[in-house]
Chain A
């Protein structure tokens, strides 16, 4: 199915990813109507997106959504990190209760054909011994260790139930790996742009960081193709944290693992890299990789940036805005010898 004549509602337009998707879809002349739902105004200037001010946790949505006569709902309102005005304890409410209310509203919208949720690969967890590339069927039986992971697992359960009760709807759960982009205000990006980056001593995780452009394009591709079930979204390949930091020209400081979380929390408050809670800390110890065969073959989407290219792009963009002289060994050695960058 193409986008011609589609009426699409997007939740969570106050987040960058929700707003980016709204912008991408409203610029497509074939799309008939785009609605943006959130309690806060959109993160970006939007032209023809109809902004509907509603908290997805309230049952107001059950009256507002059917009136829009949309055929597709894209749920971008799942939050990964606490933000100003959205403390950690509100995340559970927004993520789990919000999704429940949204699904209830979907049940009353008779025009609906498709529901896409922008979820998280955090459901797989980060374990020392986990497979290096998770396939979609491995989410069952993952050990639930962090609050966020439990929330994601809970809302996936609800969503799966909902999909089973409504076989007429194409229900797709996208499991996103963390996104990076120079303009993204996420704790992970802020962590990678610290002048000196603390790492967990003796650990060098494999990471898959998704380029922000691919993140938006992937969800648009999922709206176009009506895929059912869970789909992993990540870049191809993987990159180690140590190489990531070297490419970004950021020196690292190894910190004994038990001290890592408190130090990052404290640094976070001062430098803005806070909010790297449980899940983020575990990812920076053991890493996580996902298999993206379903994304490639069933959604028909090939990420433009693989894991290394996404980091290179971030490095180029961060290099322009470094404050003060860095402690970059690679650049120093390069300048002394005239080799490389």
Chain B
């Protein structure tokens, strides 16, 4: 990541300093317009650049790619992810170098932790912080989340797209890093008692995509996401009311209201396993059901084994 002062933290400081300078200017007898312009000019270079970024953003002069990914926005909210990563969940990332630095690749983690795709954001953060050549992965998000106000716009700007094979294929063809969760809702919605037991990997659609595009598969084992919202039951009425696939009941939610939505501070480990290279198979191999199931099973077993290893390596859950 570049160290450019963009977005919120630098921006807020710049705006505060700018207003202070304008006030001084007006007190010195300048008219507001001149005071503002001279204040802008006298700011230190770094702050001026930050102010510039804020102003240009207000004018619509920023970059957004065709997927609606807004790197400036992602960098501005990144400190929040970093806080969760370093302080809240004390994530330890292993094997980030296994993620290809260039070209297309499919990241396949286990999925847990209901409600919000925190595991997707932590996988992203691990790559941005621990990889020698970091790049923003794009992640597939449950359809339902894209119907939600605020959540949908937030995720889209951070690189999320609705889970669809069309989106995944097109992103890979553009040489992107793509995160998919083959377990889907079955993974996030499973009860606490079944934690770290991988669910069925759909119909192996992610393998078909990888075969068709020739992208390597990087299995990812995420330990810790299972404990952030320990699901002990679910409310069907609430789910139907909200149109959600499920609404979990945890020891804190919905009993503590919005406070119950604060994820528990479990300790996390994320391991990126060796990439599975599928380039020996031609794209037509995607129609070979047996091969698809074989590869899917291989990925699933790799993740399951690494999950248990990392579970042992992590030791106690919360400390």
Binding site for B on A (CB under 8 A): 128-133, 135, 138, 200-204, 206, 236-240, 243-249, 257, 286, 289, 291, 307, 329-331, 333-341
Contacts and interface: CB of A to CB of B under 8 A. Distances in A.
Interface string B49-92: 00110111111111011111010000000000000000000000
By Cβ-Cβ distance, the 9 closest A-B pairs, closest first, are A202-B149, A246-B60, A129-B143, A128-B147, A330-B59, A247-B60, A131-B166, A330-B58, A337-B40
Given A131-B167, A237-B66, A246 B58 contact: yes
Given A138-B166, A248-B60, 9 more contacts: A132-B170, A135-B166, A249-B59, A330-B58, A333-B59, A334-B58, A339-B55, A340-B52, A340-B56
A124 to B, nearest CB: 12
Given A247-B59, A339-B56, A340-B59, A129 B162 contact: yes
B308 interface: no
Contacts of A331: 59
Given A202-B149, A203-B153, A337-B37, A132 B161 contact: yes
Given A337-B55, A339-B55, A129 B37 contact: no
Contacts of A243: 60, 62, 64
B150 interface: yes
B247 to A, nearest CB: 18
B55 A334 contact: yes
A236 B148 CA distance: 27
A253 to B, nearest CB: 15
B59 to A, nearest CB: 4
A333 B58 contact: yes
A206 B68 contact: yes
B45 to A, nearest CB: 14
A303 to B, nearest CB: 13
B58 A337 contact: no
A34 B171 CA distance: 44
Contacts of B57: 246
B181 interface: no
Given A131-B167, A132-B162, A132-B167, A334 B59 contact: yes
